[in-house]
Structure 1
Amino acid sequence: MEGMYKGRKNAKTAIPRSENCLYLNVWAPETVDDAKRPVLVWIYGGAFSVGNCSRPLHDGARLAHESGCIVVSLTYRVGAMGFLGSRTLANSAAGEWPLVTLEALRSKPSASDSIGVGAGNWGLWDLVSGLLWVQNSISVFGGDANNVTVFGESAGSIAIHYLLLSPCVPEGVFHKAILESGVVATLVPRTTQAVQATWDFLVRSLCPHHLQDDEAAQLEYLRTRVSADDIATCLRPLVGKRPRSEYTPTLSELQRLPQAREDLQTEAFGVTDQWGPVWDGVFVDADFVERAFTPLPPRSKLRNGRSGIAVGMCADEGTMFNFLIATAQSLAAHQDLFHPALSSDLGRVYGFDTRELKTIKASGSEKARRDQQAFYTCATYTGDTQFTAPILDYMAMHSGLSAQAEHVDVYGYLLAYRPSSRMLEALTVVPEMTEEWAAFHTLDIPFVFGLVGSPDVDGHAFVSEMSEYGVDPDEDDGSKMAPGTAPPTASKGMTKAERELSLYMMRTWTTLARLPTTEDGGREGVKLPDGSTWLPLRSYRADSEDPASIDNIHLLAIGDAPQAPVKVRARPADEPIRVYQTALSQHPFAQQRPVAGEASSLQERVDFWMHKPITGTAAKSDASEGDKDQLRMCRYLQNYYGFLSTPPRFISWSAA
């Protein structure tokens, strides 16, 4: 729906934009194979606000060629079209025909057989529909519907975790999953209270006054007279902030809003310009958040993903966010958007004083040093709260499980490689800035798809045996190059070592996709391209007595760079990039301290966000005595939901 980011020449205007957007792409290898092929299903990211299947970066042809798998990419609605909810929508009959069975693909069920779908998770229902299409139709392309692996990055990875935990997803629509930079704890669901506030704001701003008391007429008006662009424009002036929150109050609202959500009473609730899954009580059921902060259930209780899960992250997840926080003063302004107690905690742990930052006056090299420190400080706590801490905490939970057959095998990886300037030249429009981002969020995508090369030559990387790839149908049908002619030398794109790493990652993802889907399949681990065996997280236990300790994590390290801003030596273009299995505590990523606070080790930063409440607040619970401690209270949840004294809870649409 939102076009493309950076495509080939004239691609953005050539691709039509329409709400008729629910399509998918299928790539099948040309080689003949009598056996049914494993299926890889890609789910794109984009903060649930942007994203599409039209980017050359997501072209699955190379991956299909190298893996021998069928590659599918699913489109799902984003932004308001994907995640706008309200009481009115929840009560609307328009949501009574979800594609939750294969039969629903063929005929609409009768009114008596309809299934309520809640409201607000339309984009997630789209993914269910796409996976059902795969189950129903992929055999026509030679795919095995009984061996489907979903893989996604960022919001796509988060969405997969939602699919794993939701009681509404039909059983057996996917069998393995690869979560690249995202789990549910990265973006927990928005409450119906916050979502209803966004709806009310849109109604007040966009609907005629004479419809004020007619909810049905307001709904019809927004559906037929208001575009998605109008909604986005309406919400755009709101203040966005990271670490992300389900509401983004302005500074004046920040002073007015009470400390606890239940104390709002008749106060107008702050609204957001950010999107994501909704705690609707249906797709995201009442105890969903509680389950998201625990390991996956045993295989027998898991509806999908029983044959293996991989979870990973990049070493510098936060650097591509808040990149405009590039001065000490802007870091101080950023802190003004947080609760004062949380801001004080951040200053202590990440090594800055907000009051001092506001008064700093420096020039020359000292200013440059302080500004760089401000950028990496903001990048570190942003990456920690949204990605690093939730993902490592999730790995630690699975590392603490006993090595018994009833648990699903969960594998961990860390991408800690900093791309070459050549690769950045081909990948981004601002290579000088992205070089400072180090091993940034989304870096895994070009390696997994093998698609970053020289735009002047073919737009893709040369990998394996193919001599040419990625012709633009509007400019070249491939006939201009004589058979056997080598392609021009690329001045941009992956180095030789990066191409080899790309091939390694594609083949690793392929091995996961080819794991047996039988009940006892995959018990021997994943065979890596170098002949070693990638063992599940629970296969290794350190001496730590704390099951939540990241010292228990033993993962696949792809590269050995520390977290920025620590410098690394220049690497020759043909020097192999190291890939090895290691205890996380032995990796440079965990051994260095990128910030100068009192408690800035990696373990302490994970504990800061995931296991400790904001200083001065009590983690009290209004639940019954028996289940008081079921949901841990921590800074991450307190910041996201705005509760400073009570755990978050499901609120039905009728009470929102």
Structure 2
Amino acid sequence: MTTAASEPTGSEPEPEVRTAAGVLRGSVDEGVAVFRGIPFAESPVDQLRFAAPQPVTGWDGVRRAVSYGPPPPQAGHFGMDALARESVGTDWLTVNVWSPEPYRGAGLPVMAWIPGGAYSIGMSSLPEYDGARLAREGGVVVVTLNYRVGMEGFAHLDGAPANRGLLDQVAALEWVRDNIGAFGGDPDQVTVFGQSAGAGSVAALLAMPRAAGLFRRAIAQSMPGTFFSAALAADIAAACAAELGLRPTVADLTTVAPDRLPAAGDAIMAKCASFAERWGPVAHRSIPFSPVVDGDVLPVTPWQALADGAGRDIDLLVGHTRDEQRLLTALDGMLGQVTEERAETALEVFAPGPDGARRYRDGFPGAGPDELYELVNSDWLFRMPSLHLATAQITGGGRAHLYELAWSAPGMGGVLGACHGLDVPLVFGNLGSGQPAALIGVGPSPAAEELSARMRTAWTAFAAQGDPGWAPYDVEQRLTQLFDTRPTVTAYPEETSRLIWRDHSIPVLPLLDR
């Protein structure tokens, strides 16, 4: 998709760089050189459908790089399927670069963004991911990327490698390693960062041998804790394929046009609850796709990998929002409407251990059904996986910095609190664009601008030096940066939840009934 920012502005000269595949000509956005829609792998269609990404073919002459590449096929959430259909072409695997100094030898830190979207949606062309402000004010080279989502990227199929979406991310990072110097970036100073499924991808990359050496630092914002066993992933893939009257094989599914395939995942998501006895918690949350611990591409969970020392030489910044679940409850139409029965079901499904539900009720004695429902869902899906990632990093001999975003979103009447996704516009500084910016309210307040500046400064300082500006987390003091109207550093604020989950490891999610 081409946005208004895609075309050259004014009379500024169009920047050119030479990459390994050929020469690119970009545009200029308020002093930042921008290159959009750069292919990092061949189009994964036809004979390359459901295959690992393949090296891109070069080109002769100068290639214009002023328009975003088309996104991969998308699920129907938030109208993303329709948005994807507006784009033409199958060059799904592209990167975009914003650089304040697009000259070889500048040696700037590089920040490579992995979009989120429940592993079912996600595209780098969304306006909230525009990297111009982060690059210009932070003195970094910003890269955003596309990767295959849904069945194309994460369905566990016979005849296809597992975790193709993650392999796409590795290929994009290999492109960064080989080419970012031409854009003024330092290939030895790469930070991967992402939110939600993007953060889960960052965590997976930390555990993947194929990604070793491709980045020096990692930022995981609201990491989801869903990592599937091969058996669970294969069973879900079989259910998706059955919606089309097909088997979960490459031979069968290549007969389906790419833009038709997401509908099968959407159909399964709509009736996920009927599979609860087989799929367990992910059926209750309607999560049909996640990284698969297959023993090869992803050998073990990120928590196990970090505890074993896989991230010892990687600087890690990880955190979550205070009210992760609030927005998701609102999207389900249940804000303020959670019944005692629904809260009890959530506690039984998501609280850890045989007495987890009782521990939540004892730990939060004044909480009604809405709060209990929000707490246990927030903890299971985002907050405790993020906290445990920091703890695993320390266990393995590495260093981690922890944060919580506690600032309440003023948009939508202020009912959403510090909800999931609020960090994205704050980190990029795009407070007036895209769906998440609706959380900020009309006309960003001085408080929002100030908080955004603080977070951008922390993120770019971390990318440059491995230090976001507060002390590392440890298991005794548990120092945590709280981003709020008045930011403070304090002991981890969700202490009751931490204690409930303290002795509980986050497992590979199994198939319950084979």
Choose from 359, 368, 371 the match for 1:349: 359
The CA deviation string for residues 339-380 of structure 1, in whole angstroms up to 9 with x for no partner, is: 68979856433449xxxxxxxxxxxxxxxxx9x943332111
Structure 1 runs not aligned, ≥5 long: 91-118, 241-247, 260-268, 353-369, 402-406, 425-430, 462-489, 516-521, 529-533, 543-551, 560-576, 591-600, 613-631, 645-655
Q: Determine if the alignment matches structure 1 residue 535 to structure 2 residue 404.
A: no
Using the alignment, how far apart are the partners of 2:237 and 2:94 within structure 1?
27
Question: 1:485-564, aligned counterparts within 5 Å?
Answer: 492-515=442-465, 526=467, 528=469, 534-538=470-474, 542=476, 552-559=477-484
Q: Which residue of 1 aligns with 2:176?
A: 134
Choose from 153, 156, 165 the match for 1:123: 165
AA of the residue aligned to 2:313: R
**CA distance 1:63–1:220, shift in 2 (3 Å):** same
**CA distance 1:348–1:449, shift in 2 (3 Å):** same
Q: Determine if the alignment matches structure 1 residue 150 to structure 2 residue 150.
A: no
AA of the residue aligned to 2:459: W
Choose from 358, 362, 377 the match for 1:382: 377
Using the alignment, how far apart are the partners of 2:169 and 2:360 within structure 1?
38
Question: 1:306-317, aligned counterparts within 5 Å?
Answer: 306-317=313-324
Q: Determine if the alignment matches structure 1 residue 36 to structure 2 residue 107.
A: yes
The answer to whether the 8 Å contact 2:432/2:443 transfers is yes
The answer to whether the 8 Å contact 1:6/1:55 transfers is no
Question: 1:31-180, aligned counterparts within 5 Å?
Answer: 35-86=106-157, 88-90=158-160, 119-169=161-211, 171-180=212-221
**CA distance 1:271–1:160, shift in 2 (3 Å):** closer
Tell me whether 372-381 or 331-340 shows the greater mean CA deviation. 331-340
Using the alignment, how far apart are the partners of 1:71 and 1:450 within structure 2?
13
Structure 1 position 164, deviation (Å): 0.9
Q: SS of the counterpart of 2:210?
A: coil
Structure 1 position 43, deviation (Å): 0.6
Using the alignment, how far apart are the partners of 1:205 and 1:123 within structure 2?
22
Q: Which residue of 2 aligns with 1:624?
A: none
Structure 1 position 2, deviation (Å): 4.9
Look at both structures and tell me which one has the larger radius of gyration over its CA atoms. Answer: 1
**CA distance 1:59–1:207, shift in 2 (3 Å):** same
The answer to whether the 8 Å contact 2:104/2:182 transfers is no
Tell me whether 333-342 or 131-140 shows the greater mean CA deviation. 333-342
Q: Which residue of 1 aligns with 2:8?
A: none
**CA distance 1:453–1:336, shift in 2 (3 Å):** closer
Using the alignment, how far apart are the partners of 2:124 and 2:409 within structure 1?
24
Using the alignment, how far apart are the partners of 1:440 and 1:270 within structure 2?
20
Using the alignment, how far apart are the partners of 2:129 and 2:294 within structure 1?
31
Q: Determine if the alignment matches structure 1 residue 16 to structure 2 residue 101.
A: no
Q: SS of the counterpart of 2:447?
A: helix
Choose from 186, 193, 200 the match for 2:231: 193
The answer to whether the 8 Å contact 2:233/2:289 transfers is no
Q: Which residue of 1 aligns with 2:244?
A: 206
Q: Determine if the alignment matches structure 1 residue 276 to structure 2 residue 290.
A: yes
The CA deviation string for residues 97-123 of structure 1, in whole angstroms up to 9 with x for no partner, is: xxxxxxxxxxxxxxxxxxxxxx23010
The answer to whether the 8 Å contact 1:418/1:438 transfers is yes
The answer to whether the 8 Å contact 2:350/2:376 transfers is no
The CA deviation string for residues 56-101 of structure 1, in whole angstroms up to 9 with x for no partner, is: 1110000000111110001111111110122x224xxxxxxxxxxx
AA of the residue aligned to 1:181: S
**CA distance 1:316–1:271, shift in 2 (3 Å):** closer
Structure 1 position 157, deviation (Å): 1.0
AA of the residue aligned to 2:324: E
Q: Determine if the alignment matches structure 1 residue 606 to structure 2 residue 475.
A: no
**CA distance 1:31–1:578, shift in 2 (3 Å):** farther
AA of the residue aligned to 1:250: S
Q: SS of the counterpart of 2:159?
A: helix
**CA distance 1:439–1:192, shift in 2 (3 Å):** same
**CA distance 1:192–1:17, shift in 2 (3 Å):** farther
Structure 1 position 439, deviation (Å): 0.6
User: What's the C-alpha RMSD, in Å, of the aligned pairs?
Assistant: 4.0
The answer to whether the 8 Å contact 1:202/1:231 transfers is no
Q: SS of the counterpart of 2:490?
A: strand
Structure 2 runs not aligned, ≥5 long: 1-71
AA of the residue aligned to 1:376: E
The answer to whether the 8 Å contact 1:154/1:180 transfers is yes
User: TM-score of the superposition, structure 2-length normalised?
Assistant: 0.72
Q: Which residue of 2 aligns with 1:415?
A: 405
Q: Which residue of 2 aligns with 1:436?
A: 415
Q: Which residue of 2 aligns with 1:395?
A: 390
Q: Which residue of 2 aligns with 1:95?
A: none
Q: SS of the counterpart of 1:394?
A: helix
Choose from 245, 255, 260 the match for 1:229: 260
**CA distance 1:66–1:436, shift in 2 (3 Å):** same
Using the alignment, how far apart are the partners of 2:279 and 2:193 within structure 1?
41
The answer to whether the 8 Å contact 2:428/2:456 transfers is yes
Q: Determine if the alignment matches structure 1 residue 579 to structure 2 residue 487.
A: yes
AA of the residue aligned to 1:155: A
User: TM-score of the superposition, structure 1-length normalised?
Assistant: 0.58
AA of the residue aligned to 1:508: A
Q: Determine if the alignment matches structure 1 residue 449 to structure 2 residue 318.
A: no
Aligned residues: 430
Give the strand-richer structure, 1 or 2.
2
Using the alignment, how far apart are the partners of 1:389 and 1:13 within structure 2?
33
Q: Determine if the alignment matches structure 1 residue 292 to structure 2 residue 322.
A: no
The answer to whether the 8 Å contact 1:321/1:382 transfers is no
**CA distance 1:374–1:125, shift in 2 (3 Å):** same
The answer to whether the 8 Å contact 1:399/1:553 transfers is no
Using the alignment, how far apart are the partners of 1:13 and 1:202 within structure 2?
21
**CA distance 1:127–1:491, shift in 2 (3 Å):** closer
The CA deviation string for residues 35-58 of structure 1, in whole angstroms up to 9 with x for no partner, is: 321111011111111111111111
Structure 1 position 166, deviation (Å): 1.2
The answer to whether the 8 Å contact 1:413/1:558 transfers is yes
Q: Which residue of 2 aligns with 1:471?
A: none
**CA distance 1:397–1:140, shift in 2 (3 Å):** closer
The answer to whether the 8 Å contact 2:203/2:220 transfers is yes
AA of the residue aligned to 2:274: T
AA of the residue aligned to 1:332: E
Tell me whether 501-510 or 315-324 shows the greater mean CA deviation. 315-324
Using the alignment, how far apart are the partners of 2:441 and 2:285 within structure 1?
47
Tell me whether 372-381 or 39-48 shows the greater mean CA deviation. 372-381
Using the alignment, how far apart are the partners of 2:452 and 2:105 within structure 1?
28
**CA distance 1:68–1:127, shift in 2 (3 Å):** same
Structure 1 position 330, deviation (Å): 4.8
Using the alignment, how far apart are the partners of 1:333 and 1:60 within structure 2?
41
**CA distance 1:151–1:21, shift in 2 (3 Å):** same
The answer to whether the 8 Å contact 1:191/1:279 transfers is yes
Structure 1 position 150, deviation (Å): 0.8
The CA deviation string for residues 407-464 of structure 1, in whole angstroms up to 9 with x for no partner, is: 33211111111133xxx2xxxxxx13xx222111111111110001389xxx999xxx
Structure 1 position 222, deviation (Å): 1.7
Structure 1 position 168, deviation (Å): 2.4
